[in-house]
Homo-oligomer: A and B are copies of this chain.
Amino acid sequence: MNGAESLVRTLLAGDVDVCFTNPGTSEMHFVAALDQVPGMRCILGLFEGVVTGAADGYYRMARKPASTLLHLGPGLGNGLANLHNAKKAGSGVVNIVGEHATYHVALDAPLTSDIEGIARPVSNWVKTSPSAMEVAGDGAAAIAAALEPPGRVATLILPADTAWNAANGIAETPPPVPPPAVASEAVDKAAEALRASDKALIVLGGEALWEEGLDLAGRIAARAGCDLIAEWSNARLERGAGRVSVARIPYPVDQALKVLEGYDTMVLIGSREPIAFFAYPDKPSRLVPEGCAVVELAGPADDIKGALEALLDALGVRDAAPAAVAEADRPAIPSGPAGHAGIAAVLGALLPENAIVVDESITTGRSFAPVTAGAPPHVWMNNLGGSIGYGLPVAIGAAVACPDRKVIALEGDGSAMYTVQGLWTMARENLDVTVLVFANRSYQILRGELTAVGVQNPGPRAVDMLSLSRPDLSWVEMAKGMGVEACKVDECEALARAFEAGLASDGPYLIEVVL
């Protein structure tokens, strides 16, 4: 058994049985091992951002890491942005990054680079395996690192000779360490703060936004008479009819300040203190109102469900009925041009039960939440790292993790372009993903930001830098070029028919929604 085979077998023994890949020469022994050892599902991406984003989406639904296979430093670099997003989302990923043979590195060949240096900013754990004998152990350590709560990015660098030399065998992955329980003092403090305030807000994040967590939070809110809210970006928000409904803190700073205004107590459960996405010259970076006390009960890596249960017990209301449960409610399909409200209504009217919505709709999607709140139960995913191009890849990973559920990717045209190669992987794997691309032909969010910095009448240079027109992109042609069925619509009823066609399909289907 060579190092590559010992690593593949170690991954499989550690329950890592999906590999999103974009290999190169230095990874050929690993590819040969994947070919010879049964059990690993290998999924090719034609660009590494697809590979790493898919691993993020996979973890969010499967709750176990996938592996990636990347080609030296530049291949890792191509996957960097979506590893950044995965790290911020708390998604566990095991990256296998090929490297030159140990003795070849000093020659500074064309592809030689500081791989550890590239990996570190987007990884919680980095190691270059020193020998074939140690590769299996390093692989097991990488899996263990990826499983640390809430999920971490682990990057194992695999010099070619550690793959081809003789190895020792398989290493066993230690059982995952559970998330740490919150201290009872913190629970008491949070309970006391909620009791003392009649204008308190609980900010929920992480597992607090899964169905069970929301149910517990809803009971707490009912008893304490406080409000619930979710962070702006969430890895996995379980929502829809019958579930406790929480709004998200708005992205625009002024709107966020308004929503948070007047609270004197804020309790954080699985979340972090609200801050602005970006700084602006004349706006605050911290969004907590002046004089509002902030009590952290549980951070994103803590035992969030345990914290909710303990808080509920401390308040003495285990069997209270939860507050803010969403009633089943669907809007009618509207007619007329497909504007933001119309698109929202079509989504609300047709969203299928158990759908997984991957939301990278940027400006177009800001009004989607209220009108979809009463749709059948579904999952809603956001980008936690802010680097656009996460949507198509995360949809791939979610679809691989949950083959029986419909995945719906909501994409801005600007953001979808960054990892447009993902469409091909959807076609190759016949993934059950319906993609809606909202074609406003611009980086619309930046048009607003440019106005915000004082440019009222931008000239042609600025307009050209923020616009995707001249020429317009044809999403239908690009999708067909990558083997994905596609159509174009510009009004609501046609959108509804197209969406129904996508939902009826078993494979990928793209709808270009011209705004």
Which A residues form the contact surface with B (CB < 8 A)? 21, 23-26, 28-29, 31-32, 34-36, 40, 42, 44, 46-47, 49, 72-75, 77-78, 80-81, 84-85, 88, 100-101, 103-104, 107-111, 113-114, 117-118, 120-122, 160-161, 164, 233, 272, 275-279, 281, 285-286, 383-387, 389, 414, 417-418, 420-421, 424, 427-428, 445-446, 449-450, 452-455, 458-459, 461-462, 464-466, 468, 470-483
Contact = CB atoms under 8 A, between A and B. Distances in A.
Given A25-B449, A474-B481, A478-B482, A277 B117 contact: no
Nearest to A413: B46
Contacts of A471: 424, 427-428, 482-483
A80 B74 contact: yes
B468 A46 contact: yes
A107 B286 contact: yes
B120 A461 contact: no
Contact of A74 (B84, B101, B108, B161): B84
A306 B118 CA distance: 37
Nearest to A89: B110
A455 B386 CA distance: 42
B279 A100 contact: yes
A279 B103 contact: yes
Given A49-B78, A118-B118, A421-B417, A387 B21 contact: no
B285 A455 contact: no
Contact of A385 (B110, B117, B385): B110
Contacts of A278: 25-26, 100, 104, 109, 111, 160
A478 B482 CA distance: 8
B42 A464 contact: yes
Contact of A81 (B78, B107, B272, B464): B78
Given A160-B279, A418-B78, A445-B25, A465 B117 contact: no
